[in-house]
């Protein structure tokens, strides 16, 4: 399970809800691009305030979901 948010402050706050691995959106997507971060069909992405994600970043998430089967 990976908690995602636009900013680090909100991402870190997700740890209080029991999500151990949290990251801001841009570093997460950069990590996916570089191969540093890997997800698969067993990965759950928890997105905080999805309505605030920009169209380009949301499209990247949709492509990731389609390619890997993560939810």
In the structure, what pLDDT confidence band is assigned to residue 6 with cuts at 50, 70 and 90? very high
What is the per-residue pLDDT for 41? 96
Q: What is the dihedral of CA 21, 35, 28, 68, to 10 degrees?
A: -80
> What tens digit of pLDDT does each residue of 39-61 get?
999 999 999 988 889 999 999 99
Rg for the chain, CA atoms, rounded: 11
What is the per-residue pLDDT for 18? 93
What is the per-residue pLDDT for 55? 94
Return the half-sphere exposure (C-beta side, CA atoms, 13 A cut-off) of residue 63: 9
> What tens digit of pLDDT does each residue of 14-36 get?
999 999 999 999 999 999 999 99
Inter-axis angle of helices 25-34 and 55-68, nearest 10? 50
- Which burial class, exposed, middle or buried, applies to 36 when counting CB atoms under 10 A from its CB (0-12, 13-18, 19+)? exposed
């Amino acid at each position: 399970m990976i908690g995602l948010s636009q900013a680090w402050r909100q991402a870190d706050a997700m740890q209080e809800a029991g999500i151990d691995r949290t990251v801001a959106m841009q570093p997460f997507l950069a990590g996916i691009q570089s191969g540093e971060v890997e997800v698969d069909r067993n990965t759950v992405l928890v997105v905080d305030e999805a309505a605030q994600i920009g169209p380009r970043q949301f499209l990247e998430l949709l492509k990731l979901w389609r390619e890997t089967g993560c939810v």
